[in-house]
A and B are shown apart, each in its own frame.
Chain A
């Protein structure tokens, strides 16, 4: 039986245009710019200086707090500079710029294709290895994986859930790795099960990826306790809370964390990175990324080094596909962020470079709310987006917004997608949610 979450949801056209295109390695750039803020939490502290020689996989940034992470060089060469520059989202962030010379890897990394199945090590050792490899959640949230694998003492994990739903339209990176590297992903899951001391792992894949379901089911067959589940195609099936609800029928209480339901959710790409970190001693410095769009003929699933300028990726697919104003999105069309500047570079969380024409992104003119309730019907968190919009537009009514649970919004965009009046609900809610979160944090700090 196909599983799904219980509240809300919507059905955008899935447009998985690049699902049949095999993973291909993107040629090295001449220069990379590696961001120190590729994970949620405190940016890493650069530990290299201008003129230093670095190898592929060498540490260039160290964690600067509990929730933070290591950053490694993705290329070999000479550090050209350590400077703040705008990242994908346009924020000024410290970057390490490296002039690429050759492709020399840290000799400790196992570069063979041999699949290492045997796993060993205590949970502490495994978590330390994952931390040292700079692994973060690769579905987009980029929460440091080692933190998620070590829940607080009073909370006990019961299930590991691997998220292979990939419910965002267009993105096919996870689909490809599940088809091409299923064994590695399953071993990665096995390692995380050990780290968490759990007996059961579910791998959740949406029904529109039958080949991935097949490959993963075969790969999982030889492991006890790992089960592949076919999920209904419904957005946002891959939302952390939605996935837990779909699989275990447990709802993460408002204001609580997924671990409160005994579940830890990790992306399939993260599982692959964990495999490489622990079994191959390879830090996270490259990832698979979809380059797609209806307007693009030459669609790709590229294996991309972290820090590659988007301009280089664009050049590799033959430049901007159409004349005039294009819109570039990092991630999928529902939750992805518009890219302000193509000089920005890829990060650990970059699953997709989506190209949209001006016409595709044109917002239709907004009209009054016609009180159709469709936004509330679609909201997977059971919120009333129309009401939040109304309160937000009055201005300053943060109390009311909080009482109407704006803090529960997962910013999935279902409301905005459904609204027949074309009201930019998500944009308005996102801004006001940030304000309310500030107020809540200030209150908790007291």
Chain B
């Protein structure tokens, strides 16, 4: 669990760098609230004798904050933390017992209850307000769209003030954790190197999304966005690297994990293309969370068994 926190550090730090103290406050409040709620329930409601370990709750807290808009008020994080910990985790029996990813339940609850706050994005450099229409666009896609509309690429670059440093960080409008694709990918590599997770889930989501959007985009580029856009925007990286790979709510065997990833990819793309929400990754993961117990029936390859 410490490793997961370390892996989340680059994304958190980049976000603090771009959005400043409000984001630091969100992260701190969310993590603290999660730990506190879990501790209180663990100790007083469940009367557990076992040692309390707040690391798992801290991870949930940080993930929740990374899923909030940077301008969200701090109390939103407290409500989200309560839903995540008290309802999505502890009411199922606590650590290891929950069916749904707690941070995502918190996020979706907030999205439905406070739609305005949850979809008011502030851009990193204060350049584009009200970006909710395209739910966090990457510089690449802005250029892409602009060129299609007949504006020369260099003018767009100048107009949006994309400096090389910012380009490197692939500055993306959206939730706290979606600022930098590179920071998220660094976290992914760290998790793999430390053998915290296997690549199966994340990669099968990416491959599915790439193939599916590739086909749609080829068929009708005017209506459907392409693979690069879909992989790098919105919660795709954050979700596929950190949320879909949550141990408790994802399948255990390689086979199950691949099915799980493909399922998330398909559902996410369908929601993005045809749903009423611009973003589908959270819902896709939650839907596939329900299927996890079933996927756990897929047995690992046995030694000397057919």
Asked whether, in the complex, the Cβ of B251 is within 8 Å of the Cβ of A373, the reply is yes
Return the contact of A373 from the options B53, B247, B303 (Cβ within 8 A): B247
Can you name the residue of chain B whose Cβ is closest to the Cβ of A251? B304
Q: Which residues of chain B come closer than 8 Å to A384, judged between CB atoms? A: 252-253, 299-300
Min CB gap B298→A, angstroms: 10
Asked whether, in the complex, the Cβ of A408 is within 8 Å of the Cβ of B252, the reply is no
Tell me whether B94 is interfacial, beta carbon within 8 Å.
yes
Asked whether, in the complex, the Cβ of B252 is within 8 Å of the Cβ of A380, the reply is no
Asked whether, in the complex, the Cβ of A382 is within 8 Å of the Cβ of B94, the reply is no
Tell me whether A405 is interfacial, beta carbon within 8 Å.
yes
Stretch at the interface among A173-181, A351-359, A362-370: A362-370
Asked whether, in the complex, the Cβ of A253 is within 8 Å of the Cβ of B94, the reply is no
Asked whether, in the complex, the Cβ of B302 is within 8 Å of the Cβ of A383, the reply is yes
Min CB gap A96→B, angstroms: 40
Asked whether, in the complex, the Cβ of B304 is within 8 Å of the Cβ of A371, the reply is no
Asked whether, in the complex, the Cβ of B247 is within 8 Å of the Cβ of A370, the reply is yes
Can you name the residue of chain B whose Cβ is closest to the Cβ of A364? B51
Interface range, B side: 20 to 34
Asked whether, in the complex, the Cβ of B95 is within 8 Å of the Cβ of A382, the reply is no
Asked whether, in the complex, the Cβ of B97 is within 8 Å of the Cβ of A253, the reply is no
Tell me whether A48 is interfacial, beta carbon within 8 Å.
no
Asked whether, in the complex, the Cβ of B304 is within 8 Å of the Cβ of A370, the reply is no
The 8 A CB mask of B227-259 against A (1 = contact, 0 = none) is 000000000000000000001100111100000
Min CB gap A256→B, angstroms: 7
Tell me whether A254 is interfacial, beta carbon within 8 Å.
yes
Q: Which residue, of A7, A251, A371, A382, has the highest number of chain B Cβ atoms within 10 A?
A: A371
Min CB gap B191→A, angstroms: 12
Min CB gap A116→B, angstroms: 39
Asked whether, in the complex, the Cβ of B302 is within 8 Å of the Cβ of A373, the reply is no
**A405-B301 contact, Cβ under 8 Å, with A365-B50, A367-B50, A371-B248:** no
Q: How many residues of A contact B (CB 8 A)?
A: 28
Asked whether, in the complex, the Cβ of A251 is within 8 Å of the Cβ of B303, the reply is yes
Q: Given the complex of chains A and B, what is the CA–CA distance between A413 and B2 in angstroms? A: 25
What is the predominant secondary structure among interface residues of chain A facing chain B? Answer: loop
**A253-B305 contact, Cβ under 8 Å, with A365-B50, A371-B247:** yes
Q: Given the complex of chains A and B, what is the CA–CA distance between A256 and B97 in angstroms? A: 37
Asked whether, in the complex, the Cβ of B304 is within 8 Å of the Cβ of A256, the reply is yes
Q: Given the complex of chains A and B, what is the CA–CA distance between A375 and B286 in angstroms? A: 25
Q: Given the complex of chains A and B, what is the CA–CA distance between A373 and B304 in angstroms? A: 21
**A377-B302 contact, Cβ under 8 Å, with A371-B247, A421-B96:** no
Q: Given the complex of chains A and B, what is the CA–CA distance between A252 and B56 in angstroms? A: 41
The 8 A CB mask of A218-257 against B (1 = contact, 0 = none) is 0000000000000000000000010001000001111010
Return the 9 tightest CB-CB contacts between A and B, nearest first: A373-B252, A368-B96, A372-B247, A382-B302, A251-B304, A370-B96, A381-B303, A253-B304, A368-B95
A-B CB contact pairs (8 Å), 27 listed: A7-B303, A241-B304, A251-B304, A253-B304, A253-B305, A254-B302, A254-B303, A254-B304, A365-B50, A367-B50, A367-B96, A368-B97, A369-B96, A370-B95, A370-B96, A370-B248, A373-B247, A376-B252, A376-B253, A379-B300, A381-B302, A382-B299, A383-B300, A384-B252, A384-B299, A386-B252, A408-B305
Give the A-binding residues of B (Cβ under 8 A). 50-51, 53, 56, 94-97, 198, 247-248, 251-254, 299-305
Given A380-B303, A384-B299, A408-B303, 16 further pairs, Cβ under 8 A: A7-B303, A251-B304, A252-B304, A254-B302, A365-B51, A367-B51, A367-B53, A368-B95, A368-B97, A370-B95, A373-B251, A373-B252, A373-B253, A381-B302, A383-B302, A421-B96
